[in-house]
Amino acid sequence: MKKFLWIFFVSAFCFSQTSKEKAKTYLSEKDYKKAQQELTTFLESNPSDIEAIELLGDAYGYQKKWDNAIEQYEKLKDNYPNNANYHYKYGGALGMKALSVSKLKALGIIGDVKSAFLKAAELDSKHIDTRWALVELYVSLPGIVGGSTSKALKYANELENLSKVDGYLAKGYVYEYDDEPELAEKYYKLAIEVGGSVTCYEKLTNFYESQNKPDKAIDNIEKAHGKHQRNAMHYQIGKVCADYNIQLEKGEKCLKAYLANHSAKDGVPKAWAYYRLAQIYKHKNDKTEALKWIDKAIAGLPDIQVFQEEKAKISEL
C-alpha cells in the first residue's frame, strides 16, 4: 500500500511539473491561451507555486485580460511585499487596464499604478523597467492628476546612472513630449553614439518624422542600415519616401530591394511594400504601374481598408 501511494505521489508530481514546463513552451511559442489552460490546471494542485502564478499573470497579460493579470500579480505583491518586480508587474497591468477603460474610470486607477511603480523603485534601486515606467507615467499624465516633467527627468537621470543608453533615450522621450525638439534630438543622438542599437536609430527616425523632417529621417535610416544591414530598413526608407513624396527614385529602389530579399524575420508583409510602391508611382503620375502594385497589395491582404482607399485615389488620376 505504501509503495502504491509513493508511486502515485511521484507520478502526480512529475505530471504537474510537466504541465508547468508545457506552459513555458506555449508562452515561448506565443500560444498564450494554451499556456493559461496548463497553468490554471497546474495551480489547482499547486496553488502556492510562485513561478506558476507569475507565469499565469503573464499569460493573461499577453491576452490583454487585465483584470485576471492584476489578480495574479496582486497575490504575488501581497505575499512578497519586498519583491520589486511583483509591484512593477502589478502596476503595469493596472496601467494597461487604465488605458482600456473610460477616462473617468482611469482616474480611479492611476493612483494605484503610481504607488506600485514607486514602491518597486524604492525596493530596487537598479530596476530599469520600473524607472522607464515612471518616466512614461509622469510624462503622459496631465499635471492636474500628477504629471510632472521634472519628476520624469528625475527618473531619467536615475536611468542614466544605471545605463547611459536608457538614460539618454528617456531624456529624448521627455524632451520630445515637452516640445523641446533640440534637446530631444541631442539625447537621441547621444543614445546612438553610446549604444548604436536598432532601437536607438528607430527613436531618432521616429522623432524626425514627428517633426516633419523626412530627409533627416531617411539619412538616419541609411546610417542605421550601414551599421546593422537589416533588410527591414529598405522598407522604412521606402515608406518615408512614399509618405512624404520625396526621393522617389531612392524609395522605389529600396522597396524593390526589400521585396527581393524578403523573409519572415523582416516583419512587414510584402503587401505593404507593394502598397508603398503604388504610392510612389502615384506620386510620379504613373497610373498603370500604380494600379499594378496596389492590385498586388490587395491580393496579398484583401481586408486592409487603406489599400482599397489608395486604389480609389489612383483610379482618379
Q: Are 295 and 287 in contact (CB under 8 A)?
A: no
- The yes-or-no verdict on residue 259 having pLDDT over 60 is yes
Helices 232-244 and 270-283 meet at what angle, rounded to 10?
30
Amino acid at 162: L
- The yes-or-no verdict on residue 1 having pLDDT over 50 is no
- Work out the mean pLDDT of the chain and round it to a whole number: 91
What was the pLDDT predicted at 6?
40
pLDDT grade, residue 145 (50/70/90)? low
User: Residue 244: CA atoms inside 13 Å, Cβ hemisphere, count?
Assistant: 21
Q: From the CB of residue 41, how many other CB atoms can be counted at a distance below 10 Å?
A: 16
Rounded CA separation 195/201 (Å)? 10
R_g of the chain, CA atoms, integer Å:
25
Domains of the chain: 27-124 (1.25.40.10), 126-230 (1.25.40.10)
DSSP state at residue 85: H
User: Residue 47: CA atoms inside 13 Å, Cβ hemisphere, count?
Assistant: 2
What was the pLDDT predicted at 17?
55
- The yes-or-no verdict on residue 311 having pLDDT over 80 is yes
Write 30-37 long-range contacts (CB < 8 A, 24+): 30/62, 32/59, 32/62, 32/63, 33/59, 33/63, 35/59, 36/60, 36/63
What was the pLDDT predicted at 141?
78
Q: Give the tens place of pLDDT for each residue, 22-70.
A: 888 989 999 999 999 999 999 998 899 999 999 999 999 999 999 999 9
Q: Give the tens place of pLDDT for each residue, 212-243.
A: 999 999 999 999 999 999 999 999 999 999 99
